[in-house]
Structure 1
């Protein structure tokens, strides 16, 4: 008598691909086994091939006529009752292992996998695992990921808009940082939040940094002197010729050298430091030093008596005033000493430095150097505030950062984190003894293949070298086809949600480490919040229902309820406040309470 789980028999074996002839007694649809119902012959479901003392396990990639072996295309044996399965692992005694030690033979039985079988594969619980959801076809069985491999071998969470991508990331990070022994209390996760979606989802176990912080949040500042000077000059001044760039970089290097020598900064070797060394310098002093020769005039031809009316002021960025030079050969005379011909660029630099929307970068609070280059707080306090606090997660909300400087800032943030953990890898705060996971939302915005930028350069470096130094990357994107191939190919684990674009699906399919084209083809029909997880952190490729966080702990990324909103009666609308919020660049801006300004004025009188 045939077992109720019998699906068919092996028809042919070609490497890891096995063709299975379905048993004639198997009816399509649902099989009832042990009181539970199972879908028969579904793409993505598992099968078991007994081999005496141990069992082989495979995953169904094709069903029907297209799965018919090529040798049978014109034979009488052709039909629709064929399956193509991919061998993926085996159970020897009681433990499951990826890979196989032997191949099945023709006519070996192939059985449907029951929940008891799945429990043997997925039910084993080891330290260092994190639960991300439940099996889609057996929701009593949790899906666990190996945290070591998830972090060190990098990962990618990919899915179209509305597929549940942000919720999946939030759920995963909440599982990692769960209290009461369920999670990992000393985890260290840095999330680059491009759209400001995660503050509400992770606030109970994360420090939130924002340009315009709300209650319980911290001020986000990124000191300009932590960026490469060439990048900050490009942002401030625009295009400069090589002569001017070299001259300005020389001045910056001289300023950094003076501070390093005066303050005797620990670890700085004056003989090996470069202009890119993260040492403070004053942009305001630099601007005044550069603008002076551009506007200077002289009272004498020997150029010994400046025709000055009013000196410049670096603090207020007031330009020095000189008597205008004449066009004839008479006083005042035009200056030609140290002139770089960059008056227009310096005007732009001054404009940027006075622009309030760039204050988080150009006036970084306690990290802003004085006119001599000294700072109240240095990089150690910045790093400690970002990755040295008691909570497991740091969310850097970049939603208020102008797009003109976003790529440079992401590159600067990643550079600060990577360089510190790379060079400090043998220390307790370093990457090897306390690894760091960097989660990059909307990664396609800065990891494209077309143009080089500081962010892409740093992510490539993390992807290639981070594993050895305890720095892992998680790439989150809705357009994997736009991400640089080098970066995506370094991701060892893929969490692929619904992808409707064929180009994106083919990119994921090409990057998947397992030969599972049939599963990849199902990416377009996954339900919201359902993912195919495959790669090094997963014991097996699996179709998973991601665990939803509580309703009050979900990312602020849900679609607006159009029908409900348009059906409700319109309430009062205040477009003055709408414009005020726009001008404040802060969605949470509120007008001051009545009496606040009066109280301030009274206190000042």
Structure 2
């Protein structure tokens, strides 16, 4: 449809920078403007209007509407109407871009410098113009997913190109109960429906996403934690659980405990948070020596010349306190550990061995005559770290999720850390390009992780993933969408709690896109998130937010939002969102489609249950 065939609803009377004033014609009182090709609203701030600019159509967003008294309007017989006693209805709009003809197609250019001329006619936007404005680049026409429909008219589908949406990370924000989980499930479902070789890993904090994938194939759910005890009348203690069915039914999750050594050398340092000057050197020595110690049947931690102690060969017991027994040999054995002079054991020792090694490396001091001793003052410097290790080892909540018993085989001491990290990354995040993978969607159910452990455990998981991701290189990583639900639990601002933060996720946010990793960061409290992660997201889907701190966090991070867009966020109804960023030509308010099936995140039915 050409501009000439569309009836005018008004005309331009003033240009003030990018601000445009439009007088509505007498027959259009600021209501809906309808035509053969659909209906577009010009009745409220936020609506779009077209303005004739010769070969182009300038697109402006209405920000204000007002009456103008006749004596302040322009003189009669100018434009298309005479001044009468009825006040003029006037729109104030800002240019947001223009539509031009590109061969046989229309193309929207998001640049605000092009303006109409005085007296140019204002026209409503038909559905084909709206599709050009809300649409995607020509090179992404065949790789789009549908998110919903525009909120005002419900006539235009909102599609986004998958490359533009995911290549530079996506943030999904909104208060609880306004549809974040529904949107995340919908996006995952539609990506899977269109892109058969997609790979999605979901950090499912509350255990709600399994229901959204029932009936699909190549979906796997892993619950981090121990297998719960089964009733004796249903299962034998020695019974092997049946393999999960090919079609996902949400009833056969795999229970998995993370071996503590899978966090890796750097991950364990991040997990235990040692101080730099005194505790970190002792912990580093402990981690380097871990393969040379073992535990006996009495839970004593010892090191020796052979795999098994005997009466004819020497061994040395390590302790986690500052006792004076056997310290005349301490210097000799610590020297052997530092120089890697003791043959390795074939299995990993228990996690608590770290406490003994840290204590021994941290408390050693020397007397004036050159002998070594366990020094109480030096021990006091590493005692807080020893206590942290002991507390984690004795915490059933931590032990339920992380396997602290050790006893797994050490195949190659020279690469023992890297092998364990890669094995865990392959299981949780997927294998590299060219290796067989038995799932496309992996739901990591994190319901068993305690809130105070979430930053440590999940931050360490991201730490190990980032290590392997960057070591594999750009061409060996399979493109993966990592959906981080309730991210404020573990992607916290490093300035909020100094010394307790795990910042591997910041490197993922900064450089992950180059290594085929896309983050979908979903949270109800963006103000509690790392500001670096927010700043690295180039696309935003914001549902309703009402807290001023959260809105400010959004204000400081977005690229092409404006105050009018931000002012709408606090009043969005349930299921409506505003999308903006590199995947959107302009900030778009749209109604999100319902995911089918839905995730298990509905509100409690208090009235019906209590009745």
Instruction: Determine if the TM-score, normalized by the shorter chain, exceeds 0.5.
Output: yes
Distance 1:299 1:285, change over 3 A: closer
Q: Counterparts in 2 of 1:235-250, with a 5 A limit?
A: 242-250=277-285
- Give the corresponding residue for 1:207: 220
**Which of 217, 229, 233 does residue 253 from structure 2 map onto?**
217
* 1:153 has 2:168 as partner: yes
Q: How far did 1:153 drift?
A: 1.6
Q: Counterparts in 2 of 1:70-469, with a 5 A limit?
A: 81-93=90-102, 94-100=105-111, 102-122=114-134, 126-178=141-193, 183-203=194-214, 204=216, 206-212=219-225, 215-227=251-263, 232=268, 242-255=277-290, 290-291=318-319, 294-295=322-323, 297=325, 336-337=373-374, 341=379, 346=386, 349-359=389-399, 362-363=402-403, 368=408, 378-386=420-428, 387-388=430-431, 389-427=437-475, 429-430=476-477, 434-445=478-489, 446-448=491-493, 449-452=495-498, 457-469=503-515
Q: Alpha-carbon deviations, 1:350-383, whole Å to 9, x = none?
A: 4532443223554279994569977997333322
> Structure 2 CA distance, aligned partners of 1:5 and 1:289?
92
- Residue 322 of structure 2 aligns to a residue in which SS? helix
Q: How far did 1:171 drift?
A: 0.6
Question: Does the 8 Å contact 1:293/1:338 carry over to 2?
Answer: no
Q: Alpha-carbon deviations, 1:186-226, whole Å to 9, x = none?
A: 22222222222222223535322212468422233333234
- Residue 28 of structure 2 aligns to a residue in which SS? coil
Which consecutive residues of structure 1, in runs of 5 or more, have no partner in the other structure? 260-281, 305-312, 321-334, 568-605
Question: Does the 8 Å contact 1:49/1:108 carry over to 2?
Answer: yes
Question: Does the 8 Å contact 2:39/2:153 carry over to 1?
Answer: no
> Structure 2 CA distance, aligned partners of 1:43 and 1:478?
27
Q: How far did 1:456 drift?
A: 5.7
**Structure 1 length as normaliser, TM-score?**
0.72
* 1:534 has 2:584 as partner: no
> Structure 2 CA distance, aligned partners of 1:51 and 1:11?
14
- Give the corresponding residue for 1:276: none
> Structure 2 CA distance, aligned partners of 1:390 and 1:566?
44
Q: Alpha-carbon deviations, 1:421-447, whole Å to 9, x = none?
A: 2222343x41xxx32222222223332
> Structure 2 CA distance, aligned partners of 1:460 and 1:351?
28
Q: How far did 1:175 drift?
A: 0.8
- Residue 26 of structure 1 aligns to a residue in which SS? coil
> Structure 1 CA distance, aligned partners of 2:537 and 2:443?
22
- Residue 105 of structure 1 aligns to a residue in which SS? coil
Q: How far did 1:461 drift?
A: 1.7
- Residue 188 of structure 2 aligns to a residue in which SS? helix
Number of aligned residues: 505
C-alpha RMSD of the superposition:
4.2
- Give the corresponding residue for 2:344: none
> Structure 2 CA distance, aligned partners of 1:57 and 1:316?
63
Q: How far did 1:111 drift?
A: 1.2
Q: How far did 1:489 drift?
A: 2.3
Question: Does the 8 Å contact 2:134/2:158 carry over to 1?
Answer: yes
- Residue 403 of structure 1 aligns to a residue in which SS? coil
Q: Once structures 1 and 2 are overlaid, which stretch shifts more, 484-493 or 14-23? A: 14-23
Distance 1:42 1:506, change over 3 A: farther
Distance 1:79 1:484, change over 3 A: farther
Distance 1:522 1:371, change over 3 A: same
> Structure 1 CA distance, aligned partners of 2:383 and 2:500?
27
Q: Alpha-carbon deviations, 1:536-584, whole Å to 9, x = none?
A: 112332221111112xx222222211111211xxxxxxxxxxxxxxxxx
> Structure 1 CA distance, aligned partners of 2:201 and 2:513?
16
Q: How far did 1:294 drift?
A: 3.4
Which consecutive residues of structure 2, in runs of 5 or more, have no partner in the other structure? 75-86, 228-249, 294-298, 304-315, 333-347, 357-371, 432-436
Distance 1:435 1:338, change over 3 A: farther
